[in-house]
Amino acid sequence: MSKPIIATASLAGCFGCHMSFLDIDERILDLVELVHWGKSPINDIKTFQQDCDIALIEGGCCNDEHIHTLREFRKHCRVLVAVGECAIMGGLPAMRNNIPIKECLEEAYLNSPSTSDANPDRILPNDEELPMLLDKVYPCHEIVKMDYFLPGCPPRADLIYGALTALVTGQEAELPYEVIKFD
């Protein structure tokens, strides 16, 4: 049987979850024995060259590009894993969900102490090259079906490693008390 292919993506996240994944340290060599890498910021492959078996998704959706990316992952990957609070429930970006988007933009670009002088023409970014902001930040499962969820901000490296090797080898993940944390 050929090795399973892993892909990863960072949507509205801070890359902390990817960093935590790298915290598996030398165990990454064991993983290399078990899997092939597909599209991922880790190897900088930017397009799907073939369909993948497992995808780790960091971050929720805060703009239309995230939605597009997530749907592409759903189309091209067999198992989608939501990694971290942002992917699971929007995380810190979703703290804007109860504030109208207009207020958010005005605070960020017009009224905050660091921008009030720097933006004399009072421009809100509106180039058509820019992704369109969504009204809210959406957790991944509200956009596509997700198969697994690994909590934490970021999830402990041991949790990611344990879950991933379990998925790849078809065993049950071990989840001791120390690895499940929400912060």
**Alpha-carbon dihedral 95, 10, 170, 36, rounded to 10 degrees:** -170
Q: Which is nearer to other proteins, 5 or 88 (CB)?
A: 88
Closest separation in Å from C-beta 79 to ligand SF4? 19
Residue 17 in contact with ligand SF4, rule: CB under 6 A? yes
Residue 180 interacts, among other proteins, ligand SF4, none and using kind-specific CB cut-offs from 5 to 8 Å, with other proteins
Closest separation in Å from C-beta 82 to other proteins? 7
Q: State the number of binding residues for ligand SF4 (CB under 6 A).
A: 13
Residue 151 interacts, among ligand SF4, other proteins, none and using kind-specific CB cut-offs from 5 to 8 Å, with other proteins
- Calpha distance 149→116 (Å, rounded): 41
DSSP helix/strand/coil, 6: strand
For residue 110, the 8-state DSSP code is I
> Please, are residues 39 and 46 in contact by the beta-carbon 8 Å criterion?
yes
Residue 27 interacts, among other proteins, ligand SF4, none and using kind-specific CB cut-offs from 5 to 8 Å, with none
Closest separation in Å from C-beta 145 to other proteins? 13
Closest separation in Å from C-beta 84 to ligand SF4? 3
Upstream peptide bond of 154 is cis (omega within 30 degrees of 0):
yes
Residue 85 in contact with ligand SF4, rule: CB under 6 A? yes
Residue 175 interacts, among ligand SF4, other proteins, none and using kind-specific CB cut-offs from 5 to 8 Å, with other proteins
Residues in the chain: 183
- Which residue lies nearest ligand SF4, judged by its C-beta? 16
Closest separation in Å from C-beta 129 to other proteins? 30
- Calpha distance 60→94 (Å, rounded): 8
Strands ordered across the beta sheet of 148-150: 36-37, 5-10, 52-58, 77-83, 148-150
Give the phi and the psi of residue 54 in degrees, each rounded to 5: -130, 135
Residue 13 interacts, among other proteins, ligand SF4, none and using kind-specific CB cut-offs from 5 to 8 Å, with ligand SF4
